[in-house]
Copies of this chain bind each other. A is one copy, B any other.
Amino acid sequence: MSLKTAIGIDPGSIVCGYGVLRKEGKSISYVASGEITVPKGQPLPERLRRIYEGLRKAIETYNPDEAVVEKIFFASNIKAALSLGHARGVALLSASVGGIPVFEYSPLEVKKALTGYGRAEKSQVMAMIKAILNIDVALSPDSSDALALALTHLNMEGILYGGGKH
């Protein structure tokens, strides 16, 4: 029976969420999720180091076959794009150093895949995640987003980073 583990990563410069799911045959189950939270007062290079080390540790612990991140085209402004880019670059690096390929999906693809509706609210996506994965504990928004990415990926043909087909 085919067996695959995926880690979804939702990077941010203050909080970075991750979620790990395992697919056995057609069955997908929850493995773990969490957040790497970095004190706001720290200098950015130090915050990035903590995010990097946290993600490397999660990848070593759960040994995923593939990583999944959000495809990004937009940000509210240049400053936000730079800030998001810093954290996202470190997230992509942590997967690459861990030797696993990175797949990406747009927020629209994630929402459509999980709720059938591209303009679903975050709360609707979280409710679907908890229902599908049978999770009855509270999930943080960042962990939920990361799990949504991993779930979308394990349910679909993946798009390899850069546009190639899985």
Contacts and interface: CB of A to CB of B under 8 A. Distances in A.
Given A74-B78, A75-B78, A45 B96 contact: yes
A162 B48 CA distance: 13
Interface residues of A, number: 34
Contact of A92 (B75, B79, B86, B161): B86
A93 B48 CA distance: 6
The secondary-structure label for the interface of chain A is helix
A52 B92 CA distance: 11
A78 B74 CA distance: 7
> So how many copies of this chain end up in the complex?
2
B85 A81 contact: yes
A139 to B, nearest CB: 26
Interface in A57-107: 72-75, 77-79, 81-90, 92-93, 95-97, 101-102
A102 B49 CA distance: 13
A128 interface: no
A103 B4 CA distance: 43
A121 interface: no
Contacts of A43: 101-102, 160-162
7 contacts: A43-B160, A45-B101, A49-B93, A75-B81, A82-B85, A86-B92, A90-B90
Interface of A: 43-46, 48-49, 52, 72-75, 77-79, 81-90, 92-93, 95-97, 101-102, 160-162
Given A43-B101, A77-B78, A85-B85, 11 more contacts: A43-B102, A48-B96, A49-B96, A75-B78, A78-B81, A81-B81, A84-B85, A85-B88, A89-B89, A90-B90, A90-B93
